[in-house]
């Protein structure tokens, strides 16, 4: 599972309108769509992929990593 307290957010919103949260250990990542406030998770260890929508909007996602 990703350690969201230590995620690194790469700011690519000016290009794609999205942000990439990468696990510092490289075990997985979460892709954030700032237009739909949807989070896509992928875990490299088991290949699991999931997504869910954040009701509080993308700003709450970026300021509260626990919402991931």
63/25 Cα distance (integer angstroms) = 21
For residue 23, give the nearest of 39, 48, 44 by alpha carbon. Answer: 44
Would 55 be classed as within a structural domain? no
Would 61 be classed as within a structural domain? no
Residue 13's pLDDT is 42
Mean pLDDT, each 10-residue run in order, the chain (68 residues): 45 48 62 70 64 54 44
Residue 34's pLDDT is 66
- Copy the structure tokens of residue 44: 């490299």
Q: Could you list the residue range(s) of the whole structural domain that residue 3 is in?
A: 1-47
Alpha carbon 46 to its chain centroid, in Å, reads: 18
Tokens 């696990």 sit on residue: 23
Residue 20's pLDDT is 62
Tell me the pTM: 0.35
Would 6 be classed as within a structural domain? yes
Would 27 be classed as within a structural domain? yes
Provide the number of structural domains found in the chain: 1
- Copy the structure tokens of residue 31: 């892709």
Would 40 be classed as within a structural domain? yes
């Amino acid at each position: 599972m990703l350690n969201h307290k230590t995620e690194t957010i790469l700011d690519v919103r000016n290009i794609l309108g999205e942000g990439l949260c990468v696990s510092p250990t490289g075990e997985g990542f979460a892709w954030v769509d700032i237009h739909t406030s949807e989070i896509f998770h992928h875990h490299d260890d088991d290949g699991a992929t999931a997504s869910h929508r954040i009701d509080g909007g993308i700003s709450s996602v970026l300021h509260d990593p626990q919402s991931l």
